[in-house]
Structure 1
């Protein structure tokens, strides 16, 4: 159609192209890093704390170890974990007002910044647990906490971190009298813990609440071996308060950045999944006119992003690793729903017992992967909602999340190798959990009635299956030993 000298063309054809973007990409664009300020005197254990919680290796972040060198405006970003940015401040020394005012001004300045990526998301105020009646709070720290209580520092979460808990435990053990000789190991440990908790309450929590009020969040931690759960509790507490006082993106990034709490990772990937694509598995609007491989790609990317492994070679995003996960799905769920009376895991050609995975020398790990990375034909089909498709997608999400949870615990923030990935895959496949996951998904699909199918049912079942998996710590210790004893990598 012509209008004057202008030709107008109207296209009534259907747009068959739908762009699929990972949910995490938008979140990371708005908040690419968890931004934290850590305050504490030299020797309190800040470097060790950061290294362990964020998995960046020894002394790779807080490089200044002498008083007076901390520059609060300097951004520390580790090449081993670029999902957090650290600001460091020395503690509040007696008689010094300059640093106290500097910290207050920095917090208020960051709070006023318009973009979420530039705002401060949390503050860790670190104190070493005092011994032998030593003073806990200096005047400057008391004033800072009073400012927080009175709202002068705004709503930025301030978490008090009581460090070197292990030293308090050791001190109590050494000073217990002979009356404990007849106690069992379990009773002795409980007695020590109760005494330590009492000392912390009397010497730390009491003074803390008098300055900051009863609702000041606090955590008691140690970075020594055997105390990892204290670090997990700290990051969980931090994420809780970031979620309360900041945006969902900042809370998600808090969890993505940390590398000590696998349960928090699981909770976060469920939160991310429920935001968009998991809801589309049943209704399909987000996946309309898309090949199933493209749908799997965004699901895979979101899950891998949340776990935030130290993976410079991007092995977890490789075609080979994706093929391993697809093999799990196809190995148990090709075609119609499987016969529930048959043992699902027997269909894996390489499945054995967990003991066989952990035994023997460091022979190459062989998992079933087709040469040339040839994918099943079904992944190239256009997405359509059906029982088989729904079952496959739910299985893909569950298998991937649980393999990565195994890998997270085993790798301990080390740089990923293909051997470590394959070992985690083999361990998970050989575990009874793998078959149980499939059975639970199949039972759920079978029990759904056509008129009762709701997106919420699918979301709840995926959440249940992913959170169901528990890893035996003794087996994990053996698996770590097997992995770390043979650091040489191998091909896919």
Structure 2
């Protein structure tokens, strides 16, 4: 990982001095976790506003030319220390890790050591600032033990945001199940509409139960937040709103104004003054 010296005192310059902040070349570093097809690629694409094919892979401060980040079916980069960067959002640095399918304890252990080392880093540029963990709702599988282990990693030092992805897919699946198991006399638009409403209730209840379960796994002082996303595969008003909510939830989990400033700058929003900047790097 690049060892940029981005330590600074938030009081050394006016928060509206854009040249000061621009000169810092700040980075906000996120580890995104999840099993295959959990929606990680889609999340990255919506945050970056670009295709995953446009992402660059960096290692130790140098771009690895010719290496690309594969799509949703890929199980992640082999080296969790590799950085995923998008020219469209140059302030964000993402790390991906496989290891959440059964039998991937070695990869998971590498990710855990990466979190520990990043937590101990003294330079702001080398620190890991947030963990995004994607859990798909359209799959009936229970949580892997490897997924449950993540909740012991942060220990209050790094905010952990659990993103329940593919809510729309889960509602569609439950709706189809309700319709397929109904009696032959149950049909028509009104029945399908009621089935959809019942499916929404079922999925919402499942999310609340899963949140309760996951909160019990976390440490007492861990900063754990939850977010649910739907319809993220395309760039729409809804997906843009979901992306903004993801950044807001991450921001709320950060400790102190320094990291909030970093996130606001790489995202383009001035948290301190509750305003907006047209910010170009």
Mark the CA change 1:29 to 1:130 in structure 2 (over 3 Å): closer, same or farther: same
- 1:304 is paired with a residue of what secondary structure? coil
Q: CA deviation at 1:192?
A: 4.4
- Which residue number corresponds to residue 248 of structure 2? 236
- 1:217 is paired with a residue of what secondary structure? strand
Mark the CA change 1:31 to 1:91 in structure 2 (over 3 Å): closer, same or farther: farther
Q: CA deviation at 1:122?
A: 0.6
Q: Do structure 1's residue 304 and structure 2's residue 278 form an aligned pair?
A: yes
Structure number with bigger Rg? 1
- 1:117 is paired with a residue of what secondary structure? coil
Query: After the TM superposition, which residues 151-300 of structure 1 pair with which residues of structure 2 at under 5 Å, given as runs?
Result: 151=155, 154-177=156-179, 178=186, 181-182=189-190, 191-202=198-209, 204-212=210-218, 216-222=224-230, 223-225=232-234, 227-228=238-239, 229-242=241-254, 245=255, 247-258=256-267, 265=269, 268=271, 270-271=273-274
Q: CA deviation at 1:24?
A: 3.4
Unpaired runs of 5+ in structure 1? 1-18, 260-264, 274-301, 312-492
- Which residue number corresponds to residue 107 of structure 1? 115
Q: Which has the higher strand share?
A: 2
Q: CA deviation at 1:224?
A: 3.3
Instruction: Provide the C-alpha distance between the structure 1 equivalents of 2:45 and 2:137, rounded to a whole number of angstroms.
Output: 20
Instruction: Provide the C-alpha distance between the structure 2 equivalents of 1:20 and 1:31, rounded to a whole number of angstroms.
Output: 17
Mark the CA change 1:258 to 1:59 in structure 2 (over 3 Å): closer, same or farther: farther
Instruction: Provide the C-alpha distance between the structure 1 equivalents of 2:99 and 2:247, rounded to a whole number of angstroms.
Output: 21
Mark the CA change 1:46 to 1:60 in structure 2 (over 3 Å): closer, same or farther: farther
Q: Do structure 1's residue 35 and structure 2's residue 29 form an aligned pair?
A: yes
Instruction: Provide the C-alpha distance between the structure 1 equivalents of 2:115 and 2:19, rounded to a whole number of angstroms.
Output: 28
Mark the CA change 1:224 to 1:189 in structure 2 (over 3 Å): closer, same or farther: farther
Q: Which has the higher helix share?
A: 1
Match of 1:126 among 134, 147, 151: 134
**Residue 33 of structure 1 contacts residue 84 of structure 1 at CA under 8 Å; is this kept in 2?**
yes
| RMSD of aligned alpha carbons | 3.4
**Residue 162 of structure 1 contacts residue 220 of structure 1 at CA under 8 Å; is this kept in 2?**
yes
Instruction: Provide the C-alpha distance between the structure 1 equivalents of 2:188 and 2:273, rounded to a whole number of angstroms.
Output: 46
1:194-213 Cα offsets, whole Å, 9 max, x none, are: 332112223x3243233226
Q: Do structure 1's residue 141 and structure 2's residue 141 form an aligned pair?
A: no
Q: CA deviation at 1:184?
A: 11
Mark the CA change 1:20 to 1:238 in structure 2 (over 3 Å): closer, same or farther: closer
1:34-69 Cα offsets, whole Å, 9 max, x none, are: 111111222222111111022133433370353464
Instruction: Provide the C-alpha distance between the structure 2 equivalents of 1:230 and 1:73, rounded to a whole number of angstroms.
Output: 27
Q: CA deviation at 1:157?
A: 0.8
Instruction: Provide the C-alpha distance between the structure 2 equivalents of 1:82 and 1:100, rounded to a whole number of angstroms.
Output: 27
Mark the CA change 1:104 to 1:29 in structure 2 (over 3 Å): closer, same or farther: farther
- Runs of 4+ aligned structure 1 residues displaced above 6 Å come to none
**Residue 30 of structure 1 contacts residue 116 of structure 1 at CA under 8 Å; is this kept in 2?**
no
- 1:53 is paired with a residue of what secondary structure? helix
- Which residue number corresponds to residue 47 of structure 2? 53
Mark the CA change 1:50 to 1:208 in structure 2 (over 3 Å): closer, same or farther: same
Mark the CA change 1:213 to 1:117 in structure 2 (over 3 Å): closer, same or farther: closer
Q: CA deviation at 1:167?
A: 0.5
**Residue 28 of structure 2 contacts residue 129 of structure 2 at CA under 8 Å; is this kept in 1?**
yes
Instruction: Provide the C-alpha distance between the structure 2 equivalents of 1:119 and 1:180, rounded to a whole number of angstroms.
Output: 56
Query: After the TM superposition, which residues 321-340 of structure 1 pair with which residues of structure 2 at under 5 Å, given as runs?
Result: none
1:201-235 Cα offsets, whole Å, 9 max, x none, are: 23x32432332269731111131356423333222
Mark the CA change 1:157 to 1:20 in structure 2 (over 3 Å): closer, same or farther: closer
- 1:35 is paired with a residue of what secondary structure? strand
**Residue 85 of structure 2 contacts residue 93 of structure 2 at CA under 8 Å; is this kept in 1?**
yes
